[in-house]
Amino acid sequence: MIYFDHNATTPVDERVVDAMLPYLHDLYGNPSSLYRLGRMARSAIDSAREQVAALIDAPASQILFTSGGTEANALALASAQGKRLWISAIEHPAVVENALRQSGRYAGINSLPVEPSGLVAEQALRQFDLGAGDFISLMLANNETGAIQDVAGWVDRLKGRGVIMHTDAVQALGKIPVSFKQLGVQLMSLSSHKIYGPKGCGALVHDAGFSVQPMQWGGDQEQGLRAGTENVPAIVGFGKAAELARLEIEQRTHHIQRLRIRLEQQLKTITDLVIFAEQAQRLPNTVQFGIPGVNGQMLLMQLDRRNIAVSSGSACAAGSEQISPVLAAMGVDAALAKSAIRISLGQGNNQNEIDQFVDVLKTLLAGN
């Protein structure tokens, strides 16, 4: 199979599996237990926290492990209680749905508009009088188009105004360098399964001076901010995946970027094909495109029958007549948006697969 959907999830790296296995077998202790088996589990969590911290340039003490990116986003938004919440028009459902379904907790929810480039409109900064009492959630990289927002620039321009900034860095992590310090945000969400780690694990990173509001209570795990017995094997796996991403980021970026350049060169030979957010700086592994007159869902299924796994990019568009809210926010014509296909490359892909995919795509488009 040709797997081109690494923004959905990645295969677990064998080295990550090896690191996790002892914690699924003999080292099953509860990290809160005081005897040796428990202390070993605690120590494994501490090491994983250091590994994640090293990848994102943040103190380990500011990392809270969660059940994934979705919970990290929910936990971040729980700290927006009583504030005016601003979310960009292209946020992941893990932000949008958490905001909308708990709208009563905030002093209003507002959308930050996005330009056709896929980037949040700069004018929003001037247009709205943002200050203390405002909480912004602006993703670092978009899961569909791969567009990278200038989060550090936004933090810089809002400096001194008392605005709280959260960034969902789930898609950026492991694909581009992500430094919590350099971004300057108060809160950042991460997920393990996008960086060749196990599913069901992630983290919320918080600024030292920022007081995170818990969503659930029980034991005093994770500084009392995220109660519940820790998923030790998954946390160990996330830590190992983070360590590998840090050590290999240059070669990984180079590999996927080289493949994407080759892919885009070939895609551009297809008449009228449009690459979304092409003008924006994008993740090196992601290309989302549309072809006028094509049904994206049907194309996706035809590719699946040829053992090629791609995505339309938008979970909520799958199997429905709805178009991607991300593309809609960018002002993409509805018919073109319905033709969207997203390719997200990963470390296991090679040039052969790119060439094979484009051949199959061209054959399908020619109706053969």
Ligand X SMILES: Cc1ncc(COP(=O)(O)O)c(C=O)c1O
**Using CA atoms, how far apart are residues 96 and 210, in angstroms rounded to an integer?**
22
CB 74 within 8 Å of CB 214 = no
The answer to whether 68 contacts ligand X (rule: CB under 6 A) is yes
In the chain, how many H helices and how many E strands?
12, 12
Catalytic: 316?
Answer: yes
The distance of Cα 163 from the centroid of its chain, to the nearest Å, equals: 23
Cα distance between residue 187 and residue 189, in whole Å: 7
Shortest Cβ 67–ligand X spacing (Å): 7
Site residue total, ligand X (CB under 6 A):
14
Binding of residue 70 to ligand X (CB under 6 A): yes
Q: Which residue is nearest to ligand X (CB)?
A: 69
Would you count residue 92 as binding ligand X (CB under 6 A)? yes
CA angle 153/225/205 to nearest 5° reads 25
Which C-beta is closer to ligand X: that of 238 or that of 289? 238
Q: Is residue 75 a contact partner of residue 97, using CB atoms and an 8 Å limit? A: no
Q: Residue 94 interacts with ligand X (CB under 6 A)?
A: yes
User: 79 vs 143, which CB is nearer to ligand X?
Assistant: 143
How many residues does the structure list for the chain? 368
Residue with the two structure tokens 């791969």: 146
- Nearer to ligand X by Cβ, of 147 and 294: the residue is 147
Please report which residue ranges of 102-160 form alpha helices under DSSP H.
123-127, 151-157
Stretch touching ligand X by CB under 6 A, among 102-110, 163-171, 296-304, 356-364: 163-171
Catalytic residue among 8, 21, 60, 316: 316
Pairing of strands 134-137, 164-168: parallel
Binding to ligand X by residue 313, rule CB under 6 A?
A: no
Q: Cβ distance 262 to 318 under 8 Å?
A: no
Structure token pair of residue 59: 């103190």
- Per CB under 6 A, the list member of 171, 186, 231, 324 interacting with ligand X is 171
143 lines the binding site for ligand X (CB under 6 A): yes
User: Residue 322 Cβ, how far from ligand X at the closest point, in Å?
Assistant: 17
Q: Which of 313, 318, 45, 72 is nearest to 173 (CA)?
A: 72
Report phi then psi at 96, rounded to 5.
-60, -50
Q: Which residues, 229 to 268, sit near ligand X by CB under 6 A?
A: none
Q: Looking only at residues 173 through 202 of this chain, which bind ligand X when binding is defined by CB under 6 A? A: 191, 193, 202
95, 170 contact by CB (below 8 A) = no
The residue among 202 and 239 lying less far from ligand X, judged by its C-beta, is 202
Residue nearer to ligand X on the CB measure, 194 or 260: 194
Question: Of the two residues 40 and 94, which places its CB atom closer to ligand X in the complex?
Answer: 94
Q: Binding segment for ligand X among 44-52, 69-77, 81-89, 118-126 (CB under 6 A)? A: 69-77
d(CA 158, CA 188): 17
139 binds ligand X (CB under 6 A): yes
Q: Of 66-74, 240-248, 250-258, 331-339, which part binds ligand X (CB under 6 A)?
A: 66-74
Report, as residue numbers or ranges, the catalytic residues.
316
Which residues sit at the interface with ligand X, rule CB under 6 A? 68-70, 73, 92, 94, 139, 143, 168, 170-171, 191, 193, 202
